[in-house]
Structure 1
Amino acid sequence: MSAFEQRIETADGFAGAGREASLDESYRSVAVSGGNPLRRFLAFLGPGFLVAVGYMDPGNWATSIAGGSEFGYALLAAVLLSSLMAILLQALCARFAIATGRDLAEACREFFPRWLSMPLWALAEIAIVATDLAEVIGTAIGLQLLFGLPLVWGVVVTALDVFLILYLQAKGFRRLEAFVATMILVIAACFLGQLILAQPSVAAMLAGLVPSPEIVTNNQMLYLALGILGATVMPHNLYLHTGVLHTRAYALDEKGREQAIRYATIDSSAALGFAFLVNASILILAAAAFYGSGSGQVEDLTDAHALLQPLLGSSIAPILFAVALLASGLSSTVTATLAGQIVMQGFLKLRLPVVARRLITRGLAIIPAAAAIVAYGEKGAAELLVLSQVVLSLQLPFAVVPLVMFSASASRMGAHRPPRWLLAVTAVIAVVIVVLNAKLVYDFATGGNL
């Protein structure tokens, strides 16, 4: 065993006197009642919705609509597999966070040498910027579709959402969670209405849930599948989930932690299961409306909006699409802000005011978005949206591998170490993600058709 491995394995847990927690203004601010099991569970209900909103961010729309319009229901299998991966990885996040009292960013800083932790921090920041980029473009498109605001001005206006974050945080963490949950319900209701109008084929949907070898052999399909993976199992969600769970004031003894792990796992699994239905409905709508009509690949959200009315025969369909898109952008901006705060505080112990943090992150996203729109118009924005999701997929191994490695350590996890089957499955997930990303990079480097 190397000196580095020995250092990792023999570390005396994560609990430390005088440590400063990420999201310190909300740390253990949500009371967990000790009597009624239902009330205890309801106290844990919320973080799962913050994670689940990653399924419905505007970047996810771009990849799912592109995949559904070009390949029909075939990529539903990628949505399903990605969702199952997400459920297992977030269950591991819940166990890790509660068992150790740390978030993933803190653990990387404390147990990796600086030459490794700093690149991991940089990659996490890139993932958050890629996430924010999708939100900027998606929200701007939503504003354009609903109110006719020019796309460039919509991109600039998105910087003002910092005041929404400040207001929600001032009202308490539960209000912030309630806002996100409400936005998810709005998105779900909008897509339910559109699916009723589209009348998708149930048999084709069920067939699409079965994985096809073509997903790996067809480079374009693989590119979109990886985009779906990056939009579903999002790197910043792993940092986010391990941070927001510390807003709960659960008992810190062994029984209290075990109970907290159980409730947190139910919360995230239920929220992600519900979000899978919403996430899949985006691709199903594209397959039913665009692929079925022979429209070809539709990547541009504006084109998708314009095509819905003539294809579905209802003027309400494009309105529902635009409302859901705007709700998606507004909700996902909350989670990106929280993840940015957790990553910066965890890796660097650097605490910036939320206004400064938000403006820096938004600025890094607004510049390329505005440049792409000015240079290439709406088509450039659409391509940037899909590319941002593939970038997220490429960042995944650098968050998943540390999570699995830390969770496997008996000395840190103690009695709450995950069962072997969960460790084995998540390790396989990590390997699959690394291999698929390696193939994508190889195809790109060798001039493969993406």
Structure 2
Amino acid sequence: MGQNFQAKGWRKERSSDSLPEVFSSINIPKNAGFWRKLLAFTGPGLMVAVGYMDPGNWATDIAGGAQFGYTLLSVVLISNLFAIVLQHLSLKLGIVAERDLAQACKDHFGPKTNFVLWIFCEIAIAACDLAEVIGSAIALNLLFGLPLTWGVVVTIVDVLLILFLQAKGFRVIESIVAGLIVVILGCFAYEIILSKPDIFPILAGLVPQKEVVTNPAMLYIGIGILGATVMPHNLYLHSSIVQTRNYERTAAGKKEAIKFATLDSSISLFLAFFINAAILIVAAATFHTTGNQDIADIHDAHEMLTPLLGTTFASIVFAVALLASGQNSTLTGTLAGQIVMEGFLNIRLKPWLRRLITRSIAVIPALIVTIIYGEKGTTDLLVFSQVILSMQLSFAVVPLVMFTGSKLKMGEFANKLWLKITVWIIAFIIILLNLFLLAETIF
């Protein structure tokens, strides 16, 4: 096995490293024990997990819990298992092929296909950014009474903050993300204790029920949960940021990197599962059981928490968690935008310019809708952004499954037969559900 293992199935040499400013910048201790190595690899998984608990998830989880109690917990669990498998493929592609998903697509497909994939990806990132903008604006409104329009404008400021942090090194960004995740976790642990849910219905909710498929209203929200959980831009993001680790670029080094990166990713995504499940459980225990099944958005949920749980603190904690979630997702959305543009088009914009373009695409529709339709409009826009994300998912999943299953491109690291079958089933389910969702949305 050559010193610098590289599978031969790629048509051309990479034009550059993925995220060159932080590529291979974080050291992995050579002869350290298991825990020190795991700690060195920990970070990218948390960055990816953030996308699985963004404000878009809140809207679908609250609606699901309020309307149907604990029944849709099984959908949250299944979505999360799908996510764990797909993120494993994503990090494996990055480590083995030493290119991110966008660079891999650019190598494999023709210019026209790549242009279409790039456009779809940009739409997904803009939709995701839209959810962050609205989520943060709602949180600022709930905490400080700031009008939604001003809240949307304020979210432009975080552009400067993120650029400042990016200059401090990648570990700093990872630490901030981890800190905000701890805040969200703490907030929801508190909410669960307050809402006193029944354990047995929760356990029953984790088992898939037939009515999830037979009840159209339940299926619609179920697909929304799936769309809000498995994020297309996260597959691009993960394949890039695992390469920030300075592991040995040999077959043995890559094998070890895949092992630790998968552990980091899976543990982080279980944290995301806990947070999503917690949002749904709090909504079910607080609203569904008290006859408030029509609670479908973040504003209603915030207003009802205080009278139903008997403490103002419940609403404040809820809004703090929402703000943390919006800010966290903003960080990773920026990076994903940079990876996609550089990978597909080889265009290198200054990070501040790239960030400004992405944020403007999200802020302008959010501002227009907020000014014209107010609170109700922002909720509809939030749900709509999740539907767009769901639609785009297939265009990221199918190439990823193709590349990682190819012996030519991945050599000895290609997916084993059982994994190939599993991931094609997952891809097929995602495509089928999205076609159903599209038909529902249009008709």
Q: TM-score, normalised by structure 2?
A: 0.96
- Counterpart amino acid of residue 24 in structure 1: P
Question: Distance between the aligned counterparts of 1:399 and 1:380, measured in 2?
Answer: 29
Does residue 26 of structure 1 match 2:13?
no
Question: Distance between the aligned counterparts of 2:440 and 2:221, measured in 1?
Answer: 14
Match for residue 304 of structure 2?
307
Q: 1:59 aligns with which of 56, 61, 66?
A: 56
Match for residue 429 of structure 2?
432
Match for residue 36 of structure 1?
32
Match for residue 249 of structure 1?
246
Question: Distance between the aligned counterparts of 1:285 and 1:70, measured in 2?
Answer: 12
Matches within 5 A, 1:46-445: 46-445=43-442
Per-residue CA shift, 1:342-383, capped at 9, x if unaligned?
Answer: 000000101111111111111111111111111211011011
- CA contact 2:70–2:280 (8 Å) conserved in 1: yes
Match for residue 4 of structure 2?
none
SS at match of 2:167: helix
61-70 vs 289-298, greater mean Cα deviation? 289-298
Question: Distance between the aligned counterparts of 1:61 and 1:242, measured in 2?
Answer: 26
Question: Distance between the aligned counterparts of 2:302 and 2:217, measured in 1?
Answer: 23
188-197 vs 371-380, greater mean Cα deviation? 371-380
- CA contact 1:67–1:297 (8 Å) conserved in 2: no
Matched length: 436
- CA contact 2:404–2:410 (8 Å) conserved in 1: yes
36-45 vs 13-22, greater mean Cα deviation? 13-22
168-177 vs 435-444, greater mean Cα deviation? 435-444
Question: Distance between the aligned counterparts of 1:102 and 1:13, measured in 2?
Answer: 13
Question: Distance between the aligned counterparts of 2:417 and 2:94, measured in 1?
Answer: 18
**How far apart are residue 18 of structure 1 and its match?**
6.5
- Residues 210, 334 of structure 1: CA spacing in aligned structure 2 closer, same or farther, 3 A cutoff? same
The list of structure 1 runs, each at least 4 consecutive aligned residues, that deviate by more than 4 angstroms after superposition, is: 14-18
- Residues 18, 74 of structure 1: CA spacing in aligned structure 2 closer, same or farther, 3 A cutoff? closer
Question: Distance between the aligned counterparts of 2:44 and 2:97, measured in 1?
Answer: 18
215-224 vs 374-383, greater mean Cα deviation? 215-224
Match for residue 6 of structure 1?
none
- Counterpart amino acid of residue 16 in structure 2: E
Per-residue CA shift, 1:319-340, capped at 9, x if unaligned?
Answer: 1001000000111100000100
SS at match of 1:159: coil
SS at match of 1:292: helix
Question: Distance between the aligned counterparts of 1:296 and 1:443, measured in 2?
Answer: 22
330-339 vs 205-214, greater mean Cα deviation? 205-214
- Residues 18, 85 of structure 1: CA spacing in aligned structure 2 closer, same or farther, 3 A cutoff? closer
**How far apart are residue 15 of structure 1 and its match?**
9.3
Per-residue CA shift, 1:382-414, capped at 9, x if unaligned?
Answer: 111111111111111100000000011101111
**Percent of pairs identical after alignment?**
55
RMSD across aligned C-alpha pairs, in angstroms? 1.3
Question: Distance between the aligned counterparts of 2:61 and 2:78, measured in 1?
Answer: 14
Question: Distance between the aligned counterparts of 1:410 and 1:17, measured in 2?
Answer: 18
Q: TM-score, normalised by structure 1?
A: 0.95
